Structure 1
Amino acid sequence: MLNEPLLTARREDERDIPLLMWRAARPLRAISSAPLGGGLGLRRWVLNATVPMSYDRDDPADHLAAMARGLGLDGPGVGLLTGVDVGEVVTRTDTGVQVWTTVGLGTPVPAAAPATGAPAQPVGTVNIVAYVPARLGDAALVNTVATATEAKAQAIAELGLPGTGTPTDAVVVLCPPDGPACPYGGPRSTWGAPLARAVHAAVLTVGADTVGWSDRLPG
């Protein structure tokens, strides 16, 4: 399983900057769009690190790898970056699926928005880390990324924001490396359905606090 994250900090630019660190008791199968450790493979840890909204380094993978070394993490892992305070992580659990999200929706954009040629704007980032307690096949893992993204976009739409996410959003889904491989990860599958509900609930909760529309939350 994936343990609850540890909130710690790194010293950088004469400041203590927060980061979240997950350690797995054993290597887990993972799929990710993160700058460090993206793709498919076995992963031992996950980092989600706060950076300034003005972050413009062109070596994010190297930057994250240096953070991991500073924490004594070894072996393959996943590293994500965000402009929001990772100490505000929100956790949701549904039918054994665990989801942790850090949500920045200051400048949401439609995924298929036309190119404008305007200067790039600082953006928030929606980072999703999820653990599914059953082994998923490769195709199912790919499908869970789509499922989590659909659930995020649904929450953003329900918040009335004009976008589907931010240009820097990232997803990590992890699962055990052994056992029968579940073939499906879509939103009506055994594990995709609770994943979608947990992601939707987490993003909706944080987004409602951000935009001040908490009265729109169900219940």
Structure 2
Amino acid sequence: MHLTEIAAALNLDGSGVGLMTGVDVTEVVSAAEGAVTVWATVGLGSPILAAASIADAAVVVAPGTVNIVASLPVRLSDAALVNAVSTVTEAKVQALRDLGIHATGTATDATCLVCPASGRVEAYGGPRSVYGSVLARVTYDVLMTGGRRWMSRGLAWSDRR
């Protein structure tokens, strides 16, 4: 696996998360509100509707992936982690809609949440919870910024020469 080879070359061991993208990672978009921070690489070259039939899938125009990493300052319960991933996804879809993109994302989007493993447990991560509401706003802002940037260029990083 390519990511495993990269990790080994960097002397990284143990468990972890690795994300791959066709977006130039130096163009990462980030924003924060309080202690909630979101980073995203935004490539929209192959937008999809999650519930559309594979037979109805459009021809891929250009590589595209939306990778989102969010950091929260509190430990989240397992249920709150699931809520928070859903909250990020909802904010992403809202941003795509507001950008005029009829899609729920791309087929290769990923979301990673980072939070402390100890401390007081926050039970909720939905869009109306204390931290989920902030997470939704920051995710939306990051996706709007990254989406506008991508749309202004019209090409995925890997297609620019």
TM-score (norm 2): 0.88
Structure 2 Cα separation of the partners of residues 132 and 115 of structure 1: 35
Tell me which residue corresponds to 1:155: 95
Q: 1:113 aligns with which of 47, 52, 59?
A: 52
1:100 aligned residue: 39
Offset, 1:160: 0.1
**Letter of the 2:138 counterpart:** A
Query: For this pair of structures, how many residues does the alignment match?
Result: 152
Tell me, which stretches of 5 or more residues in structure 2 are unaligned?
154-161
Which letter does structure 1 place at the counterpart of 2:19? Answer: L
Structure 1, unmatched stretches of 5+, are 1-61, 214-219
Higher mean displacement: 70-79 or 117-126: 117-126
Residue 106 of structure 1 deviates from its aligned partner by 1.4
Distance 2:29 2:18 in 1: 18
Give RMSD over aligned pairs: 1.7
Which letter maps to 1:164? T
Within the candidate set 55, 66, 78, 1:126 is matched to 66
- Residue by residue, what CA displacement relative to the aligned partner does 1:136-164 show, whole Å, maximum 9, x if unpaired? 00000111110001001100000001211
CA distance in 2, matches of 1:85, 1:194: 27
For 1:93, the aligned partner's letter is: A
Q: Secondary structure at the match of 1:101?
A: strand
**Identity score, percent:** 52
Aligned-pair CA distance for 1:115: 2.5
For 1:1-219, list aligned pairs within 5 A.
62-116=1-55, 121=60, 122-212=62-152
Higher relative CO (Cα under 8 Å, sequence separation at least 6) belongs to: 2
TM-score between the two structures when normalised by the length of structure 1: 0.66
Q: Letter of the aligned partner of 1:123 in structure 2?
A: P
Structure 1 residue ranges, 4+ long, deviating more than 2 angstroms after superposition: 117-123
> Which structure features the higher share of strand residues?
1
Q: Is the Cα–Cα contact under 8 Å of residues 71 and 115 in structure 2 kept in the other structure?
A: yes
Q: Which residue in the other structure is 1:55 paired with?
A: none
Residues 118 and 95 of structure 1, relative CA distance in 2, 3 Å threshold: closer
Which residue type is aligned with residue 80 of structure 1? L
Q: What whole-Å deviation, never above 9, does each CA across 1:43-93 have from its counterpart, x for those lacking one?
A: xxxxxxxxxxxxxxxxxxx21111111112122110111111111101110
Q: What is the CA-CA distance between 1:117 and the residue it aligns to?
A: 6.4
The 3-state SS of whatever aligns with 1:191 is helix
